[in-house]
Amino acid sequence: MFKDKVVLVTGGTGSIGSEIVRSILKEQPQVVRIYSRDESKQFFLQQELKQFTNIRYLIGDIRDKERLSYAAENVDYIFNAAALKHVPSCEYNPMEAIKTNVLGVQNLIEVSIQHNVKKMIAISTDKVVNPMNTMGATKLLSERLISAANHYKGSRDTVFSCVRFGNVMGSRGSVIPLFKDQIRAGKSVTLTHREMTRFMMSIPQAAELVLKAARLSKGGEVFVLKMPTLKIIDLAVGLIRSYESTVGSKFNGEIAEVGIRPGEKLYEELMTADEAERAYQNNEMYVITSTINSSLQEYVGFTKAEHQEYSSLNADQLTLEDIEKLLNKYNLGF
């Protein structure tokens, strides 16, 4: 799909964005343009990928439509991983979240139409389902903008779709780096609630399924990636065990419950029961079709989804042993 093509990845130095870049590079694209506003992250990624001569590093913000338009010239595919993602940060700075997650996405849509991009795939989040915080509300609106773009693009052929998934293990801002820092320092591991559950997957898994969704996309869909759930307290215990087995001494801190933060949920949802009405599934993902066009006749290997919500309460839950295996597999422990 990407061989000899020009690909733009916005937010391309982030955890998911940079993994999408690494995955696309394996398919011999003509060039990958990495677009982000953080010059330090760009420098470090440039050092990591210095053997590749088909990468361009572009400083810019998706809020800046003119800069974005220059970056998107002659581009075949766009992946948008740029967003304000931290729930408390968005809660206290809602207008900033709107500028990036809503207005920035609209800029991307208009630039994609302007340059007749083949496909624009945006990364979304489980926080959009029944949103109770600013981050979720802005990302839900961005999903709606992207879905609707398929119907006002005029004669252009651009396909717009979203990929929705939960937390990514080890990504920037995830609890794993925080817990590890607390454990190393011998401090209490701060847990918001002992019954809190979250969807969880690895960074490589997330990027792989994003590219699969890009290949399948016809326009207007939301791809919901299937993933296991875990209790956050089990993740903390797994990291403590990893620390103790690695350093050979007992962790003397404790797990301290500090309360749910503003805008935070006890459990997360990836698909509502209403969305399931127009959804199809295979072993890896659900496809929620557009409310305007729910035809999925061209999708091979998908069956009608069950009429039920998909939440971290009713999904398969990882055991503590499963979590420890994942931490070891992806080198996320100590």
| CB within 8 Å of 233: residues ≥ 6 apart | 191, 194, 196, 255
pLDDT in tens, 32-42: 999 999 999 99
Break the chain into its structural domains and give their ranges: 6-166+202-226+269-308
The residues that are catalytic are 127
Amino acid 205: pLDDT: 86
Per-residue pLDDT tens for 90-124?
Answer: 999 999 999 999 999 999 999 999 999 999 999 99
pLDDT of residue 7: 98
SS3 content of the chain, % helix, strand, coil (to 5): 40, 20, 40
Strand order in the sheet with 6-10: 55-59, 31-36, 6-10, 77-80, 119-125, 159-165, 222-225, 285-288, 279-281, 303-304
pLDDT at 54: 97
Length of the chain: 334
Low-confidence ranges of the chain (pLDDT < 70): 172-173, 293-298
pTM (two decimals): 0.89
CATH superfamily membership of 6-166+202-226+269-308: NAD(P)-binding Rossmann-like Domain (3.40.50.720)
pLDDT of 298 reads 67
- Least Cα distance to 91 among 132, 148, 55, 122 occurs for 132
Residue 173 has a pLDDT of 66
